[in-house]
């Protein structure tokens, strides 16, 4: 065999390089809306909704509610996280399907609204309120049958905060139900150790107007941390152990006013399926999982379906031209990636959401986000025209569901309800 010439070797190397580059080139993708999103589009057009709109598919919402209820271990109660389902009508729908009146509330305006409009609610705070917020509710009680001392459990995370609530109870002459937040490993808040718990026990023992009503230990970190060398299982076991230890210490203290019907809350959408009735807790909290934004895509929630989307019209469709100053970069990008050839400018944007339909849309790295007219690039296979709808899937439900006015509820190919949302609050 004759030795390969240098020129031939270089030619073959170049050809190999071109072949490798072509193999790495992004494939051209994209397609129009599938049957599901075509149905949503038809429903919104028929209802005359041509502005950015939050859409919930009622069939999927119902299926999720039934599935969450079926997944609950027998003996565990369900508490709805109302900041993640921020609409009375939405909460009513899920409460009816799951058979619960328990809600977890995270700010004073939502508590006031719930007390006025849904006076049968059983309320546990999801984070500690400044004592002035509690004083405000007590000073101006709801004009309904809702009884604040009986139906609200105030969350307390430190001896100092409990002392504030003790002074409030004394000043108002009213009993307060106190649920203790404990740190089970997230390290965001809550009583951090046995010593702080004993200080709280001493304060509770001294004041008959403070009545211990239960525990809350939030454990979402156990499924959010990287799962390295069994770290998630270890974190979950640690959370269960700490919860049981704190509960045993409280029960051993035999606090006056503790009637044996404590609210022992744990879990959250990412972890509710990990809890069993033979554990220390007797209820779990769930909110976001019922509409399943993309941050909740996990193996534990694989039996639930996305049920909420942002629908927004396309304003312009044109060949993509990079902004002045970076045109050569844009031309190179378009030549390399055929999915950057067509520009779609939508109504609004910069939401906590990602394009869902039609498939194959992507944000532009050359222009960035815009809350006015977001640009999404595509191959053109999507077949979008001005006034067609693009659907985005929220990454979370809290806050996002409240950015668009009333929620459009779709059944089949019709909008059958418009659900008002809570005012935006932290």
Residue 4's pLDDT band (boundaries 50, 70, 90)? low
| Residue in 361, 237, 287 with CA at minimum distance from that of residue 64 | 287
> H-type helices in 183-315, by residue range?
194-206, 221-224, 231-253
Q: What is the CA radius of gyration of the chain?
A: 27
Please give the distance of CA 120 from its chain centroid, rounded to a whole number.
25
The burial of 349, by beta-carbon neighbours within 10 Å (0-12 exposed, 13-18 middle, 19 or more buried), is given as: buried
How much helix, strand and coil, in percent to the nearest 5, is found in the chain?
Answer: 40, 20, 40
For residue 328, the model assigns a pLDDT of 66
Residue-wise over 293-315: b if at least 16 C-beta within 10 A, else e?
Answer: beebebebbeebebbbbbbbbbe
Residue 203's pLDDT band (boundaries 50, 70, 90)? very high
Average pLDDT of the segment spanning 269-291: 96
pLDDT of 14 > 50? The answer is no
Separation CA 275–CA 68 (nearest Å): 13
For residue 366, the model assigns a pLDDT of 75
Separation CA 304–CA 165 (nearest Å): 40
Mean pLDDT of the chain: 92
Separation CA 55–CA 68 (nearest Å): 21
CATH of 106-281, one of 3.10.150.10, 3.20.20.10, 3.40.430.10, 3.40.640.10: 3.20.20.10
pLDDT of 6 > 70? The answer is no
pLDDT of 275 > 70? The answer is yes
Residue with tokens 């609050």: 425
pLDDT of 330 > 80? The answer is no
Neighbours of 104 (CB within 10 A): 24
For residue 326, the model assigns a pLDDT of 64
* SS3 call for 342: strand
pLDDT of 150 > 70? The answer is yes
pLDDT in tens, 339-350: 788 999 999 999
- Global pTM? 0.91
Residue 337's pLDDT band (boundaries 50, 70, 90)? confident
Residue 12's pLDDT band (boundaries 50, 70, 90)? very low
Indicate the helix (H) or strand (E) that contains 111: helix 108-117
For residue 258, the model assigns a pLDDT of 62
- Which residues have a Cβ under 8 Å from the Cβ of 9 and sit 6 or more positions away? none
Separation CA 69–CA 187 (nearest Å): 29
Separation CA 184–CA 181 (nearest Å): 9
Strand partners, 266: 217, 284
Separation CA 116–CA 119 (nearest Å): 6
What are the distances in angstroms from CA 97 to CA 80, 267, 290?
12, 20, 11
Residue 321's pLDDT band (boundaries 50, 70, 90)? confident
CATH topology (fold) of 29-52+306-419: Lyase, Ornithine Decarboxylase; Chain A, domain 1 (2.40.37)
For residue 212, the model assigns a pLDDT of 96
Backbone φ and ψ of 263, nearest 5°: -90, 110
Tokens representing residue 252 in the block: 């051993």
Residue 320's pLDDT band (boundaries 50, 70, 90)? confident
Q: Check if the beta carbon of residue 350 is closer than 8 Å to that of residue 374.
A: yes
* SS3 call for 70: helix
pLDDT of 216 > 80? The answer is yes
Percent of the chain whose predicted confidence (pLDDT) is above 70: 90
pLDDT of 393 > 50? The answer is yes
Average pLDDT of the segment spanning 188-209: 96
Indicate the helix (H) or strand (E) that contains 4: none
Residue-wise over 170-187: b if at least 16 C-beta within 10 A, else e?
Answer: eeeeeebbbbbbbbbbbe
Percent of the chain whose predicted confidence (pLDDT) is above 90: 83
Residue 124's pLDDT band (boundaries 50, 70, 90)? very high
For residue 19, the model assigns a pLDDT of 47
The residue that leads in pLDDT, 29 or 53, is 53
Q: Check if the beta carbon of residue 197 is closer than 8 Å to that of residue 191.
A: yes
Separation CA 123–CA 80 (nearest Å): 10
- Which residues have a Cβ under 8 Å from the Cβ of 403 and sit 6 or more positions away? 54, 351, 424
Q: Number of helices (H) and strands (E), helices first, in the chain?
A: 12, 17
Residue 424's pLDDT band (boundaries 50, 70, 90)? confident
pLDDT of 329 > 60? The answer is no
pLDDT of 235 > 50? The answer is yes
The residue that leads in pLDDT, 324 or 306, is 306
pLDDT of 169 > 80? The answer is yes
For residue 315, the model assigns a pLDDT of 97
Q: Check if the beta carbon of residue 191 is closer than 8 Å to that of residue 182.
A: yes
For residue 356, the model assigns a pLDDT of 98
Indicate the helix (H) or strand (E) that contains 22: helix 6-24
Gap between the terminal Cα atoms of the chain = 77
Where do the structural domains in the chain lie, given as residue ranges? Answer: 29-52+306-419, 106-281
């Amino acid at each position: 065999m004759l030795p390969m010439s240098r020129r031939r070797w270089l030619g073959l190397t170049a050809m190999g390089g071109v072949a490798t580059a072509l193999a790495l080139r992004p494939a051209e993708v994209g397609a129009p809306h599938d049957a599901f999103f075509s149905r949503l589009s038809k429903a919104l057009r028929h209802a005359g909704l041509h502005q950015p709109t939050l859409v919930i598919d009622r069939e999927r919402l119902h299926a999720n509610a039934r599935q969450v209820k079926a997944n609950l271990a027998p003996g565990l109660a369900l508490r709805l996280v109302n900041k993640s389902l921020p609409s009375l009508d939405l909460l009513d729908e899920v409460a009816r399907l799951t058979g619960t009146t328990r809600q977890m509330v995270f700010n004073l305006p939502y508590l006031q609204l719930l007390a006025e409009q849904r006076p049968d609610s059983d309320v546990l705070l999801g984070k500690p309120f400044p004592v002035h917020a509690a004083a405000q509710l007590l000073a101006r009680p709801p004009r309904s049958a809702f009884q604040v001392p009986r139906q609200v459990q105030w969350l307390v995370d430190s001896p100092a905060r409990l002392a504030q609530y003790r002074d409030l109870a004394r000043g108002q002459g009213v009993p307060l139900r106190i649920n203790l937040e404990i740190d089970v490993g997230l390290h965001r808040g809550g009583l951090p150790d046995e010593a702080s718990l004993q200080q709280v026990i001493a304060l509770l023992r001294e004041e008959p107007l403070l009545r211990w009503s239960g525990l809350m230990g939030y454990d979402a970190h156990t499924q959010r941390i990287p799962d390295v060398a069994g770290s998630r299982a270890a974190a979950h076991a640690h959370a269960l152990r700490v919860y049981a230890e704190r509960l045993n210490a409280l029960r051993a203290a035999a606090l006056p006013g503790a009637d044996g019907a404590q609210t022992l809350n744990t879990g959250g959408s990412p972890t509710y399926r990990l809890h069993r009735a033979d554990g220390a807790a007797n209820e779990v909290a769930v909110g976001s999982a019922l509409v399943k934004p993309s941050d909740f895509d996990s193996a534990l929630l694989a039996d639930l379906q996305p049920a909420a989307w942002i629908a927004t019209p396309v304003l312009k469709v044109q060949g993509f031209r990079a902004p002045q100053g970076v045109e050569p970069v844009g031309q190179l990008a378009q030549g390399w990636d055929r999915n950057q050839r067509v520009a779609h400018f939508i109504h609004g944007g910069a939401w906590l959401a990602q394009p869902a339909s039609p498939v194959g849309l992507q944000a532009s790295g050359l222009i960035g986000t815009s809350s006015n007219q977001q640009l999404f690039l595509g191959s053109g296979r999507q077949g979008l025209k001005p006034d067609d709808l693009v659907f985005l899937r929220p990454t979370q439900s809290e806050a996002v569901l409240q950015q668009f006015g009333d929620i459009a509820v779709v059944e089949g190919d019709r909008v059958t309800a418009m659900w008002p949302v809570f005012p935006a609050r932290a």
